[in-house]
Each structure stands twice: as C-alpha cells, then as structure tokens.
Structure 1
Amino acid sequence: MDKFLTSEVLPIKSVEIKDDFWGKYIDLVNEVVIPYQWEALNDRLPDAEPSYAIKNFRIAAGLEEGEFGGMVFQDSDLYKWLEAVAYSLETNPNPELMAIADEAIDLIEAAQGDDGYVNTYFTIKEPDKRWYNLCECHELYCLGHMIEAAVAYYNATGKRKFLDIACRFVDYVDTIFGPEPHKAKGYPGHQVIEMALVKLYDVTNNSKYLALSKYFIDQRGQEPNYFKEEYEKRDGVSHFLKTKIPLDLPYNQAHKPVREQEVAVGHAVRAVYMYSGMADIAAKTNDETLKKACETIFNNIKDKQMYITGGVGSTAHGEAFTYDYDLPNDTVYSETCAAIGLIFFAQRMLKLDQDRKYADVLERALYNTVTSGMALDGRHFFYVNPLEVQPEASEKSPIKRHVKAERQKWYGCACCPPNVARLLTSLGQYIYTESNDTIFTHLYIGSKADFTVNNKKVTVKQTTNYPSEGKATFVFDMSENNEFTFALRIPEWCKNYKIFINNEEYRELDLNKGYLYITREFLNSDVVEISMEIETVLVASNPLVRANAGKVAICRGPLVYCLEEIDNCKNLSSILIDTSKPVKEQYNPEVLGGAIELKASGYIVSSESQDLYTSFNVKEMPFNITAIPYFMWGNRGLGEMSVWIRYK
C-alpha cells in the first residue's frame, strides 16, 4: 500500500505571528491570561471558585498537610497551563515565567512516586485504588496532558526534567496496560493520551510510545469489553455520584471498535480528542481503515452535528453529542474545549488529506467559539457557548442554568481557560502545513514562516487584514530560485476571488478540493496576492434542524454575527429580519475596540393585548437591526443575545 501523502505542521518557533486580529489575542494571553491563570491555580483570585491544583501537588509532595481538593482530574489544569507557558516561551522568551514554570515542574517531580506514578488525587485520597475506575477517574487523561506539556516544554527550552518525569510515568503505565497476556486490557475513560503519546514518540523516537497509543486506539470497544468488566467489579457504583448508575458505552465511545464507529456520539470533548488520536495513528501507521473511519465521523459532525459557530455538543446532560440535526440554541452546551478538540481533529485530517472542508471547520471554530470562550479582558471565560441567551432563564430555569449570561472568573472544573491559552499560544502551527515540495496555506493570518522546500530555505511573509478584508499578500524570501507548489485555500464561503503574482493576474486556476495550486519557479521577492470577496449573507439551516425553523443567521466571511439586547431591544425573539432588503456593513470604532457592525431592516412584533393568549392580532412595526460578531458578545454587560433571527 502506498503511504499517505501527508503534510506536516511547522514547529512553533518557525512561525512568528504579526497580525492585527490575532496579535491582540496572543499579547493578551502572554501578558494577562497566563499570569492570571497562575494566580487561579494558586487560589489567589478573590470571589472565584478555588482551583486547588498547586495545593494538591504540595500535599502530594509532602510539603504541606491537608486534604485533596477539586475534581479527580484536577492535575490536568496545571499541565495545560504549563503547555501554554511552553508555547509562549518558544515565541516570547521570558526568564521570569520560565523560573515559575521550573518551580512548578520541581513540584510535580516531588509528587512523583518511585515507580513513576503521578496523580495527586490517588496519592492523597485513595492510594489503594489506582486504575480501579479507568472509565471515570481519568488517570490516563491527566497523564496525557502531562505528556503534552512536557513535550512542549522540552521543545521550547531544551530542558529534559519534565520530559523525563513524563517518560517515567509512561514507562510505568506500559507495564500495566497492553496487548500482552499479562497486562490489563484497559484504555482511558477520557481520551487525550492517544494524541500525547504520538507527540512523545516524535520527540523521543521511542517506538514503545507509538505502540502504546495504537494499543489504546485498537483496544477500545473490543470484546470482552473492559469497561463492562470494570463496571461489574465495582458493582456499577459511580465515582462521582457514589451510587449505582447504568453503564453507557456509547457515551464513552466504547460501544464498538473505533474503526466501526460512523457517528459522533457521547461526551463531545472525549470524542473529538479520540478522533484526533485516531487520525494521528492513521498517519503514523498508514492505516487506511482508521483514516476512513475518521473521514466518516468528521463528515457526520460537519454535516449533521455542528453549530454554525463551529461548536459541538448539543446537551448539558453529559456534555455530549445527541443525534443528527439536534442543535438547540438555548440549552446548547458547545463547550469551549470541544471546539478546541474539533480544531485538533480538523488539523490532523488536513495532514492526512488536504481538503478545504477540514480547514473551513477549523477556521469556523477558531474565529467564533474559541474566541467567544474568553472575554476581551482575558480574565473571564465561558465554559458553555450558547447561541441564544435570556439572563432570567439562565438564572431561574433548571434546564438552562449551565448557560451563563456572563463569563465567569474561573470554574471548579476549569478545563476551558487553560485550553484557550494553549491553543492561542500555539496558533502558528495551524496556519500552514508542508510536504516535500508543497506549502499549504490553511489560514489567513499575518505572519512570517520558515520552510524547507526541496532542501532549500524559504521564508514566507504574509500580511492581511483578515477577517475584516479578504486580501492576503505573500512575499517570498530565499537565497536561490526554487521550483515548488504554493497552495492557497479558497474558503467555501468565498464565491469570487482573484490571484495575482507580481501584480499580474494569475489565470491558471488549478483548484483541487478547495485549494488553488500554483506551481512555478519562485524567485526571491516574488509576491503572491489573493483577493477574496467577502459578502454578508443570510444563512438558513437544514429544515431538519427544528430549533432554526423560520430563522436565518447572518455571516460575513468566517464570522458569525449575533444580536445583543444593548444594540436592539429586550425580547430579541420579537424581531423579524426583512430578507428582501440588503444587509449593510458599517465599521464602528466605539464597539469593543472597533468592529464591523451589520445593519439590517426588519420589524418588531407587538400586541396591544396584555393577555397571555388572545385572538390573532399582531402588529409589525419597522425596526432597525444591529448585529455584531458573535465572539464579541457578552462584553458590555448583562443582556439577551441571539444568533438565529426570525425572518419575513
């Protein structure tokens, strides 16, 4: 079988982002978010839920007395923070921050057992119950995040201590689980270690780590089913509820072997993390059946289970996928972590198959749900990213209390804030991929990137005002001529575009799976320019999405827009948009540091009667509608918000 034609991401240090849109976010993470989250991990934020993370490690290391606090997987918050720190240090050296990280790593080492095991919950609270409940207790999940942080820190600093800590732990785990007869046939309840072990293999070249990742993928859902056996041994008693509950194998993506799974099911974050690991293993082992399973599941998410904002996970019950076309707006979950996991999945599929559908989904989730997950001040966060909010309902309705009308300072289960930080500090890895003789441009983000093409160094400088404008310019800097292919993604939303090379229009438009391929001998200082027409459009759902019947959303390029009460009125559901009239664009420097507002004509519905029910006699009064980018909502005080608008 021929090896897959894969492309590879660039090392973070090879890409320097210089972008008006994303530069502000990266500066915010470096200057505000990382220090703020360190305070949170140390329980130094007034009026915020405690983290317990650092305290737990100090107790586990014997440096202070006390009881374990927080969730069973609380250690992962520190690991994700350290991963974000590592990416930050790689592009923004900071000796003071490195010293803080080194102290945290020393603390992790002090908490590590002689056999390599590290987990503060089981070290402090239940030392005799290691691995007794893989389905719920997330020991392998915490290890996965440790590995990712350790690899990132080694790549950034060259320091081996954290990497050695992780390797010792993995070496111990490899003696416990695996296909050999004397080993347990377990696998993680919350996936992430599958991706992490591939990263560990890449940096160590130790094939044992790749084999362990493949084992966790291959073993999942096999009969006899490990989760069933484990469930019976603990008499079905849940770690969290302390009572017997039914075993839900689809919720844990363990109902069948992964190659036989065709629909995204269960806990959304766990699912997309697992699919990402599957794609990694498919690429490393040239596994066509695994690649096909990934393609099938990705298409199911994109075509039937993804919100227009790139969010996934329809229900708060289990933070999960439900069924095709079930996309409620007001009881939605759409966890920030799930959108980030979907970005991981899409990026890995792009490495396997350079198809714009993967980059389109990546871009949609990045520009909408991920950015929505953090306030513009870098100190408040959404766990849930709703598409419709009524503050009173969030306060008083039991089925909507998970939907916050305002971002929170911190969470007891704080997986999302550090996840946002680690994604944004590693954003350079998502702009391009490269193969032997092709550079693929997936995202339009101002940057300088260094490639090696045909064994020659090529630097590409990208400038753009995206997503406000659809123009991007690429200048090539190299010491000698080089013949290769430069591929540009033409987003699915873009219907009209032009390409120019050195100011001359390029008409040989070789479009394949949404990428335009330019193959030529490139010279130093060559300039490639793409000009994409960005239109404001009204978008409708498939009629099977019942929540959006009779409604439209407003989109402009990759951005989804929404209505906020502060710009319109109370009771946003009373607004109708007139689809026969054009939507106008207007830059407003007074809105949240400057934004392109959209102005539409419509109506507001009213009734003279105050009765709950009355004979049909509704009045429609002309109304001027204002929409702002969805990711900006919730930064101007408490109020209603809605993405989907009734139309006339």
Structure 2
Amino acid sequence: MKKIFSIALSSAVLSLSAFAQTAKPVSEQYGELPLSAIKPTGWLKHQLQIMRDGTTGHLDEVHPKVGVDNGWLGGKGDAWEETPYWLDGAVPLAYLLDDKPLQQKIAKYVNWVIDNQRPSGYFGAITKDEREKNVKVDVANCASGDDWWPKMVMLKVIQQYYSATNDKRVIPFMTKYFKYQLQALKSCPIGKWTEWATSRGTDNVMMAQWLYGITGDKSLLELASLIESQSFQWSDWLGNRDWVIGAAAQQNNDFWMRRHAVNVGMALKAPAINYQRTGDANYLKSLKTGFTDLMTLHGLPMGIFSGDEDLHGNDPTQGVELCAIVESMYSLEKIIAITGDTYYMDALERMTFNALPTQTTDDYNAKQYFQIANQVHVKRGVFNFSLPFGREMNNVFGMRSGYTCCLANMHQGWTKFAAHLWYTTPDKGLAALAYSPNEVTARVGAKNTEVTIRETTNYPFEEGVQMEFSTASAVAFPLHLRIPSWCKKATVTVNGEAVQNPDGGQVIVLNRTWKTGDKITLQLPMAVTTSNWGRNSRAVERGPLVYALKLEENWEKENQQEEGDYFNVFPKSDWNYGLVDKIVKDPAANLEVKTVKPVTDSFVWNLQNAPIEIKASAKKIPGWKIVNDVAPQPVTDRGGHFLGKVDEKTETITLVPYGCTKVRIVAFPVVK
C-alpha cells in the first residue's frame, strides 16, 4: 500500500523535500506545518496571549482536578481525559507564542509520560493493579491496564510536541506503544473499559496513520484497521441517512452515545481518515452526505450543529456544547488537509469566527457549557436541553459550571486554528486556506529555500488580506489561496498589478518566482445577505460573519456551592424584533453597514470592541415572550412571514458580529 499521509515535520522550518519523499497524497491533499512555522500576529496573537494569561496557561493552578496529585505526573489524581484535554491546547499555545515558561510547564507532563512508558509499550497513569498488586501491564495481562480513550488524547499531545521540538524519543515511544496495542486489542478490545473509547476510536486511528507516514511500518495500517473495526462505524452512519434522521427523531437513552454532539464532532473526520488509509472515494461521499445532512437537520446560524448534549434539531432555542465546537473545528482542519475541499474550509471559517468566541469570557477564565443561538438571557435553568443537569448550571458563564470537560478541552479551538492557517502542498509550495494575521516561515521550491510571508489583515471584519515576502534568494514555488464561497468575485494583485479575478468557492494557484519585497493583495468583497434557518427564520450575514441583535449586557455574579462563582447575563433592552421583509428581498439595498471601531492588536471578541455594525429595519412582536427560559420561535407561513400581531411602528435596530455577543437574537422571524 502506498504511503499516503502528510507529515508535520518538526524542524524550525519545513523541508518540503522530506514531505515529498514520505507522503504520497491520494488526491488534492495538503500537509501540516510544524508548530514553530506559524506565528500569529495582530488580534489573533492577542487572543492567544489572553489564553496564556488565563486558564490555558494556568489550568493546573486553578482547577483542582488537574492540579492536585495529577495522575499524568505519577500521582493518584486525574488519570483520565481532562489533563490530556488541557495539554492538547496548551502545547500548541506554548509554541505558537514561543512561551518558555509554558513550554517548561507542559514538558513536565510529556516527560513523565515518555519516561514512564512500561517495558511492554503501555503508557499512562499508574493503574490500580500496578499500584496495589505490583502487576506489570503487558499484552498477557492487558486487563490490568486502563481505558484506551484518554491515551488517544495524550497521543495527540505528544505528536504536537514532536512537531514543535523534534524530540527523538517520540517516534520510538509511539512505535512501542502501537506494537503493544496491536496485540493487546485482541483480548482487551477498544471498548473494554468505556464506550467513550469505542465512540472516539478515530483519534487513535489517526495517530497510528500519522506514525505510518513517518516509518512506513505496515503493522500500523493493520492496527488502524483493527481499531476502526472495533469502534463506532461513523463512516457508514454518516453516509447512510438513517443515523442522522434517527438522531433528529429520538432523544431517549437508546444509543445516545451515537447522538452525543462531542462524539459527532470528533467523528466527522472518520471518513476522511479511512479514505486516507484506503484511497476508497466512497468514504468522501459518506463525509459529504453526512456533514450536509447534519447541518440541514441540526445546523444553527453560527455554523455548528445543535448538541445539548445530544443532537437536538435546528430550532434556534437549542444549545451546543463548547467541546463539540472545538472538536468539530479540529476535525475540519484534518478533513481540509486530506480532501482539499473548499466546502470544509468555509465550514471551519464560519464555525471559528461565530460559534467559538461567544462561549468564553474576555479573560478566558470562564466558559458556557451550552450556548444558544437565540440567547435572550444567560442564567441558571433547565432550558430546552436534552441534558439539563440537576444544578441547572449549563447555560451560565463559570469556570466549573456544567461539566468541566469543556474547561479542559476548550483550549484547542483557537490554538489549532492558528496552527492550520497555512498548509504545505505536494508541489513544494504553500497554501493559505484560512485567513488571520500571522507570519509563516517554511522551506519551499526545488532547493528548499526558506521564505517568510507576513500576512497583514483585519479579516474576518475587513475585506483585504495583504501578504509580503522575505527570502534570502528568489525562489519559484506555487502559492495556493482560498477564495471563500461567499465571495462572488475576488481580486488578486501582485506588486500592484491585477493578476486574477477568481470566482468564489475555489483554491487558486499563483505559480511564479518570488523575491523579497513582493506583495500580494487579496480583496474579498463582503456583500450583505440573509440565510434561512430553523422554523423559517432569517440570519443576516456579511462575508464570514453572522450578525446578531446588539443588546447591552447586565452581568450578575453569583456563587453555587459545588460549582463556584458564575455569571448571569441579562439584556438591558427589548429583543423581540422581526426583520421587515424588504431586507430579505433586497439585503444590499436595505441593510446599512458601518465601520464603527478599528480592529487593533488589542482586540477582544466582545460588545465594546465590535468593529462593524449593520443597521436594519424591524418591528416588535409583542407576543414573542420567554417561556421556560427560552424564546420559542414565532411560527411563520411557507412564504416566510410571521402573520401574528406586529407593532405598526418600524424601528431601526443594530446588528453586530455574533461572536461579540453574549445575549442576542440571530435567527429572526420576518414580518411585513
């Protein structure tokens, strides 16, 4: 079988010749750059600095479950998923920011895990049998080991650490573990300890295939196939519509792990990972069918499917778990690398710039377990959630509110997005497939010439992206640039000369010789549009951003004995508006876009910093009120109008980027 995997090499800059020798893409495939290659700048760097100064950099100091007697450091404390979850975001953050103290902190955990690998290849926290019976965990007594699932996350941690450091211990460590696992799975299958491992086996498959891309050891493909056979059959389910229809119809205990939104977010990449191993294009068909069906039946305007905790339909009063967002983002980043399909690039962008930023506080010290699209207040309550949780804390902003899995796992969202702004190409070039301010350094072209590209932009708020080249000598290589599908026609200039006017929904290639001082300007006109969502509601969009009603916020701090401090957020003004129908008929003529604030290097995703506002005509719907803590969507006719009582007075409302809001309406009824 051909080697078909792209490799994240771990020198300071990527040697594309090494990439070409070890990875043969099945189709239009992209490779990952090492963590040290991309340096976020501008507002994105500030976002990562906030995380470093908040819980991403200090979770071990503020979260006792991780900080006390940690099992991943040899103690008797957390030995399951939360510590690896945290490190899965903290490791890329440490190297994206080149932050030495954070690098030293995460190295403690990585070193302990590698240095305490058992002679058999097994790794992880000290098990009960090891501690109490002095049993050695090996293939013959694999039952004395522990759950496969948290090790899957720790493997991702160590792979990223290798990408950043080229630590020579990593490849032998993983090789030894996977040899153990291949034999142990025959008597201790993937689901022996928990169904979490069965539902998330794709993450294990992905890591085995990553190592195969380096070593070419065919036993790793045997292992990948074995794990796939023992795990949930997500590729089949995504491709055959019964699963997603059943998830929309059922909310009982039967097969709920198949509807669990975080499992689904992780599973999105399963068909792509299987395609990577087999080259079977039917997997890509299953992926496209499954993701499209998922967003059709369960999709919300901010680009994510509902999941509170189960998939729960497309009503804008349903919630979504923060873990589901960051896991879906990571799956899309992997899918993009394998497929090169712009459909998934657009989906990643929408999810990142809308769903992600709204669900954490400005200081990154508190999170919401479930956010709601039409979120008219944030407070304790049951809401419409399939998992309301006994203490009714799933909607508030708190460090430990709801379940703390998201407190540990939320850190991979921004960090992995930043690490996937650029990819390598099989033709020894670079690809910019998502846009944000950054600087990338890599080796390109026939002679592996080092080049640095500084990307300056206030995207996603502004239309322009500028790139400036720096290289010791002129170098010929192809530069791939994504043109988003929402952009009808872009303009690309090189050194002031227009070179292309491409349509949206494609990746274009600029293949030329580049030298220091060369400049590219990518202009992506952002038209205002509306889109149709659950219960015939309408959302206003401009470029990659979805816009929501601007509601001034009243924050109230409270305390719950078991879960600590938390915040409620209430609106200071009315929210029960419907958009007038002329906006839907002609958005460009009836929506006024204003730039009200500059996007500075200290930008924070909040109401005070919202740089763009859209003025819209609306009328109040007096009967639209809160019921059981949510605002049930007014019923509209098939023509798209709410026909109940509406105020005669037309008012001007202000919309701001969804990601800058905490309370809002984003899915509006339409009135005449």
After TM superposition, the score normalised by the length of structure 2 is 0.73
**Partner of residue 175, structure 1:** 183
**How many angstroms apart in 2 are the aligned matches of 1:513 and 1:197?**
33
**1:12 touches 1:428 (CA, 8 Å); kept in 2?**
no
**How many angstroms apart in 2 are the aligned matches of 1:348 and 1:503?**
35
Task: Map 1:144-183 onto structure 2 (within 5 A).
Answer: 144-159=152-167, 169-178=177-186
Alignment length (residue pairs): 561
Shift in alpha-carbon separation, 1:247–1:405, aligned structure 2, 3 A: closer
Q: Which amino acid is 1:14 matched to?
A: A
**Partner of residue 611, structure 1:** none
Q: Which amino acid is 2:608 matched to?
A: L
Shift, 1:501, TM fit:
1.7
**How many angstroms apart in 2 are the aligned matches of 1:126 and 1:564?**
58
Find the partner of 2:618 among 584, 602, 605: 602
**2:457 touches 2:466 (CA, 8 Å); kept in 1?**
yes
Find the partner of 1:633 among 634, 639, 661: 661
**1:56 touches 1:120 (CA, 8 Å); kept in 2?**
no
2:532 counterpart of 1:540? yes
Shift, 1:34, TM fit:
2.2
**How many angstroms apart in 1 are the aligned matches of 2:438 and 2:357?**
19
Shift in alpha-carbon separation, 1:411–1:441, aligned structure 2, 3 A: same
Shift in alpha-carbon separation, 1:320–1:122, aligned structure 2, 3 A: farther
**How many angstroms apart in 2 are the aligned matches of 1:440 and 1:353?**
14
**2:622 touches 2:647 (CA, 8 Å); kept in 1?**
yes
**1:138 touches 1:190 (CA, 8 Å); kept in 2?**
no
Q: Calculate percent identity across the aligned residue pairs.
A: 18
Shift in alpha-carbon separation, 1:190–1:283, aligned structure 2, 3 A: closer
**How many angstroms apart in 1 are the aligned matches of 2:210 and 2:380?**
40
**How many angstroms apart in 1 are the aligned matches of 2:505 and 2:526?**
20
**How many angstroms apart in 1 are the aligned matches of 2:596 and 2:158?**
44
The superposition leaves residues 527-582 of structure 1 with CA deviations (integer Å, 9 ceiling, x where unpaired) of 221111123322223xxx33xx2x32122211112225427865523444463462
**Partner of residue 435, structure 2:** 444
Q: Which amino acid is 2:155 matched to?
A: I
**1:477 touches 1:525 (CA, 8 Å); kept in 2?**
yes
**1:474 touches 1:529 (CA, 8 Å); kept in 2?**
yes
The superposition leaves residues 104-138 of structure 1 with CA deviations (integer Å, 9 ceiling, x where unpaired) of 4466579876752535786699999x99xx9xx99
Task: Map 1:123-522 onto structure 2 (within 5 A).
Answer: 139-159=147-167, 169-178=177-186, 184=189, 188-191=198-201, 192-202=203-213, 206-220=217-231, 248=255, 251-252=256-257, 266-312=259-305, 314-316=306-308, 319-321=309-311, 326-332=313-319, 334-391=320-377, 395=381, 397=383, 399=385, 401=388, 404-411=394-401, 413-437=403-427, 438-451=429-442, 452-457=444-449, 458-507=451-500, 509=501, 514-522=506-514
2:45 counterpart of 1:23? yes
**Partner of residue 98, structure 2:** 93
Shift, 1:353, TM fit:
3.0
Shift, 1:364, TM fit:
0.6
Q: Quick check: 85-94 or 203-212, which moved more?
A: 203-212
- Give the SS at the match of 2:371: coil
**Partner of residue 32, structure 1:** 54
**How many angstroms apart in 2 are the aligned matches of 1:4 and 1:570?**
53
RMSD: 3.8
Shift in alpha-carbon separation, 1:280–1:619, aligned structure 2, 3 A: closer
**How many angstroms apart in 2 are the aligned matches of 1:36 and 1:183?**
36
The superposition leaves residues 207-254 of structure 1 with CA deviations (integer Å, 9 ceiling, x where unpaired) of 4444322322244468xx9xxxxxxxxxxxxxxxxxxx9652xx455x
**How many angstroms apart in 2 are the aligned matches of 1:185 and 1:575?**
51
The superposition leaves residues 473-506 of structure 1 with CA deviations (integer Å, 9 ceiling, x where unpaired) of 1223334444443222221211242121211122
**2:579 touches 2:616 (CA, 8 Å); kept in 1?**
no
Shift in alpha-carbon separation, 1:490–1:123, aligned structure 2, 3 A: farther
- Give the SS at the match of 1:553: strand
Q: Which amino acid is 2:440 matched to?
A: A
Shift in alpha-carbon separation, 1:93–1:346, aligned structure 2, 3 A: closer
Find the partner of 1:57 among 71, 74, 90: 71
**How many angstroms apart in 2 are the aligned matches of 1:370 and 1:30?**
17
**How many angstroms apart in 1 are the aligned matches of 2:544 and 2:595?**
17
**Partner of residue 521, structure 2:** 529
**2:330 touches 2:413 (CA, 8 Å); kept in 1?**
no
- Give the SS at the match of 1:4: coil
Structure 1 runs not aligned, ≥5 long: 44-50, 226-244, 254-265, 608-615, 635-639
Shift in alpha-carbon separation, 1:124–1:335, aligned structure 2, 3 A: farther
Structure 2 runs not aligned, ≥5 long: 3-24, 192-196, 237-251, 554-570, 584-588, 598-605, 624-643
Find the partner of 1:620 among 641, 648, 652: 648
Shift, 1:356, TM fit:
1.6
Find the partner of 1:572 among 571, 575, 578: 575
**How many angstroms apart in 2 are the aligned matches of 1:441 and 1:383?**
32
**1:603 touches 1:621 (CA, 8 Å); kept in 2?**
yes
Shift in alpha-carbon separation, 1:156–1:620, aligned structure 2, 3 A: same
Shift, 1:371, TM fit:
1.7
Q: Which amino acid is 1:331 matched to?
A: Q
**How many angstroms apart in 2 are the aligned matches of 1:292 and 1:604?**
44
**1:585 touches 1:598 (CA, 8 Å); kept in 2?**
yes
The superposition leaves residues 442-463 of structure 1 with CA deviations (integer Å, 9 ceiling, x where unpaired) of 1121222223233432332211
Shift in alpha-carbon separation, 1:196–1:336, aligned structure 2, 3 A: farther
Shift in alpha-carbon separation, 1:273–1:405, aligned structure 2, 3 A: closer
**How many angstroms apart in 2 are the aligned matches of 1:121 and 1:559?**
47
Shift in alpha-carbon separation, 1:112–1:373, aligned structure 2, 3 A: farther
Shift in alpha-carbon separation, 1:96–1:526, aligned structure 2, 3 A: closer
**1:185 touches 1:219 (CA, 8 Å); kept in 2?**
yes
**Partner of residue 81, structure 2:** 76
Shift, 1:53, TM fit:
6.3
